[in-house]
Amino acid sequence: MSATPTLEIRNLHIAIDGKPILKGLSLAVNKGEIHALMGPNGSGKSTLANALMGNPKYEVTEGTIVYKGEDVLELSPDERARKGIFLAFQYPTAIPGVSVANFLRNALNVRRKELGEEKPIPPKEFRALVKEKMALLRMDESFAGRYLNDGFSGGEKKRAEILQMAVLRPEIAVLDETDSGLDIDALRIVSEGVNALTGPDLGVLLITHYQRILNYIKPHFVHVLVDGRIVKSGGADLALELEAQGYDWIREDRAA
């Protein structure tokens, strides 16, 4: 394990329109690790996801975000993505007129340039890559010709997000409530896709409200976020405890 975490969040305080949301959150994620961040609605989970990617609506009032030893707070969302931080959105945006394949090819070429590969990926190599990754996610090949998220079902949107992750090969992936709006079959397929992509070159921060996705994606660490702070951390068993008892017992522990 490297001495420097791939992603390190240090004492992060975030405000939206002057209202404090995160109140001193610290967390380190290394490549090869899966961290689940759980918490009740309004605890700040999606705020963290947006702050990690540099959404300007989320004001960092204290603390920092360090990626591979570099403070990234001054970097734009685009710069963070090029460097290898990926966010799978809870509510992906539709982009009419831009096909999935064109979007992926352009994004991949930007990522390749960041990694020192000046030439765009050859069309034949790109088609083979996308075909391989779509097969992994059980997606019909015609999907690549559709406009990104335009008319997609909830499951298709989430699979499109994981397809992006598969093609771009980030080093840190933040999955913001990827399970929301999915039926059991779609949840299983998306989870299998995430599992197929995890390994020593990828660190995952999986943000979720429910334990059910953790039946398919097994975290190494589980963290509980309440009122803008991580109040408890543990192994995968902690998620089962939350499923059985809810979040009130943690609130009661804190109040005691």
**Dist. CA 187–CA 194, nearest whole Å:** 11
Query: What CATH number was assigned to the domain covering residues 7-255?
Result: 3.40.50.300
Q: Please, which pLDDT band fits residue 254 given cuts at 50, 70 and 90?
A: low
Q: pLDDT tens-digit profile of 122-156?
A: 999 999 999 999 998 888 999 999 999 999 988 88
The predicted model gives 112-124 an average pLDDT of 93
> How many of the other CB atoms lie within 10 Å of CB of 47?
22
Q: What pLDDT does 1 receive?
A: 44
Q: 148, 60 in Cβ contact below 8 A?
A: no
Q: Judging by DSSP bridges, how do beta strands 34-38 and 59-67 pair with one another? A: unpaired
Tell me: pLDDT of 250 over 80. no
Q: pLDDT tens-digit profile of 65-80?
A: 999 999 999 999 999 9
Tokens 């109140």 -> residue: 23
What are the residue ranges spanned by the domains of the chain?
7-255
The predicted model gives 240-254 an average pLDDT of 76
Q: pLDDT tens-digit profile of 1-29?
A: 446 899 999 999 999 999 999 999 999 99
Q: 206, 37 in Cβ contact below 8 A?
A: yes
Q: Please, which pLDDT band fits residue 252 given cuts at 50, 70 and 90?
A: low
SS3 74: coil
Q: pLDDT tens-digit profile of 43-71?
A: 999 999 999 999 999 999 999 999 999 99
Q: Judging by DSSP bridges, how do beta strands 70-71 and 147-148 pair with one another? A: unpaired
Q: pLDDT tens-digit profile of 197-240?
A: 898 999 999 999 888 899 999 999 999 999 999 999 999 999 88
Contacts of 35 (CB under 8 A, 6+ apart): 27, 29, 203, 204, 205, 206, 219, 220, 221, 222, 223
- The amino acid occupying position 116 is G
Percentage with pLDDT > 90 across the chain:
71
Question: DSSP character for 202?
Answer: B
Global pTM reads 0.92
- Name the token pair of 2: 């490297």
Q: pLDDT tens-digit profile of 163-183?
A: 999 999 999 999 998 888 888
Handedness of CA 93, 99, 104, 106 (dihedral sign): negative
- Name the token pair of 119: 């030439």
Q: Please, which pLDDT band fits residue 244 given cuts at 50, 70 and 90?
A: confident
Tell me: pLDDT of 255 over 60. no
Q: What pLDDT does 91 receive?
A: 82
